[in-house]
Amino acid sequence: MENDRRRRQRNRIWLALLLLGVIIQVNLIFSESPPAQSATALLNSISDKETSDTPEKSKPPQQPNSAQKPDPSAPAKPAKPSTNTASSPDVPAVGKMIAKIPTSKPTVYLTFDDGPGKYTKDIVAILDEHDVKGGFFWIGQNVKTERDSKLARQMLANGHIIGTHTMYHEKLWKKPKDVQIQIIRTSTEYISQKIGAPIYYFRPPYGAVDQNTLLASKETNQILAYWNVDSLDWKYGDKPDLIMNNIAREVKPGSIILMHEKEHTVQLLPKIIKLLKDKGYGIAPLPTPKPAKKA
Ligand SMILES: [Zn+2]
């Protein structure tokens, strides 16, 4: 009896210590860490739990009440299914940071930041030629002319995805939640109006995020698209081999691959697509909800 009570007491003390440890860790994650570390922590602590490489049928999205939330039993279909589209994954939930989108077949997602610009057309042409889809994260101030809007409509009709990347490439990290909401909402509304279609994806400039960014993306009904393969095309413009090796080494089933609308990326793109196909990957568009009436 005496032993039992002591054991229970000891268990309780251990439990309390464990809890204390968890609280301290959570506080560390969300306090003063630099952006990269903060992003990694957010991904590890929040996103990875739902993004293991198992088919997501067994993992219904946990996101409550979102207007754009799809029926989890009904996989989203791209506007125009590509022959290379490996499968139709569920649409990720808003308010969560995703770095990969697991599917039952090896699928990866090509994404291009900082457009639209003078290379957008070339990138789209290469993708179309190879019958693969891309996700484009546009900066509001770059979307100006009717030509941009027209290109966007063509891209959407061909099954590409357009998301936002703020109006002026602003860093969100450490800004108050209301300010972050405003930044996301302004660019989403502006670009959505310019391209004449709803927008489901937001990518934070510099990948600089904190807890408020998650809350802001939930508030604005946006999926927070991170990546788990950085092609490093922003860094190694003159070293294409490094970019290729980097993608080859890092890519996994479900990977979201980060690239930019740059000249050398255009030149490398056919090789990148070949590399991924040779590795057995299908290249799919980021999954979106079925067409909703929301403008
Ligand atoms: Zn950017």
Please tell me the distance from the alpha carbon of residue 215 to that of residue 239, in angstroms, as a whole number: 38
Whether residues 101 and 200 fall in one domain? yes
Whether residues 221 and 273 fall in one domain? yes
Q: Is residue 201 part of a domain?
A: yes
Whether residues 17 and 124 fall in one domain? no
Compute the average pLDDT of residues 26-34. 38
pLDDT at position 219 is: 97
Global confidence as pTM: 0.73
242 or 46: which carries more pLDDT confidence?
242
Q: Is residue 236 part of a domain?
A: yes
Whether residues 90 and 162 fall in one domain? yes
Whether residues 4 and 54 fall in one domain? no
Whether residues 11 and 89 fall in one domain? no
18 or 227: which carries more pLDDT confidence?
227
pLDDT at position 103 is: 81
Whether residues 80 and 25 fall in one domain? no
What separation in Å is there between the alpha carbon of 230 and the centre of ligand 1?
12
Q: Is residue 295 part of a domain?
A: no
In this predicted model, what pLDDT tens digit does every residue of 151-210 receive, in sequence order? 999 999 999 999 999 999 999 999 999 999 999 999 999 999 999 999 999 999 999 999
What separation in Å is there between the alpha carbon of 292 and the centre of ligand 1?
28
Whether residues 223 and 129 fall in one domain? yes
What separation in Å is there between the alpha carbon of 199 and the centre of ligand 1?
17
User: Is 75 a residue whose pLDDT tops 60?
Assistant: no
What separation in Å is there between the alpha carbon of 13 and the centre of ligand 1?
48
Domain containing 191 — which CATH number?
A: 3.20.20.370
Whether residues 21 and 110 fall in one domain? no
Q: Is residue 153 part of a domain?
A: yes
Please tell me the distance from the alpha carbon of residue 82 to that of residue 49, in angstroms, as a whole number: 29
Q: Is residue 209 part of a domain?
A: yes
Number of domains in the chain: 2
User: Is 62 a residue whose pLDDT tops 50?
Assistant: no
Whether residues 110 and 139 fall in one domain? yes
Q: How confident is the model at residue 12 (pLDDT cuts 50, 70, 90)?
A: confident
Q: Is residue 280 part of a domain?
A: yes
- Residue 44 CB coordination number (10 Å): 12
Q: Is residue 294 part of a domain?
A: no
What separation in Å is there between the alpha carbon of 174 and the centre of ligand 1?
17
Q: Is residue 188 part of a domain?
A: yes
User: Is 9 a residue whose pLDDT tops 90?
Assistant: no
Per the listing, tokens 């992003």 go with: 39
Catalytic (active-site) positions? 113, 260
User: Is 90 a residue whose pLDDT tops 60?
Assistant: yes
**CB distance 118 to 148 below 8 Å:** no
Mean pLDDT, all residues of the chain: 80
What separation in Å is there between the alpha carbon of 285 and the centre of ligand 1?
19
The share of the chain scoring above pLDDT 90, in percent, equals 65
In this predicted model, what pLDDT tens digit does every residue of 225-235 receive, in sequence order? 999 999 999 99
Whether residues 4 and 102 fall in one domain? no
In which domain, by residue range, is 23 found?
1-30
pLDDT at position 27 is: 44
What separation in Å is there between the alpha carbon of 201 and the centre of ligand 1?
14
Whether residues 42 and 20 fall in one domain? no
What is the per-residue burial (b if ≥16 Cβ within 10 Å, else e) of 150-188? ebbeebbebbbbbbbbbbeebebbebebeebbebbbbbb
Radius of gyration of the chain (CA): 21
Which residues 6+ apart lie within 8 Å of 285 measured at CB? 78, 82, 85, 109, 133, 134, 135, 159, 160, 161
85 or 291: which carries more pLDDT confidence?
291
pLDDT at position 228 is: 97
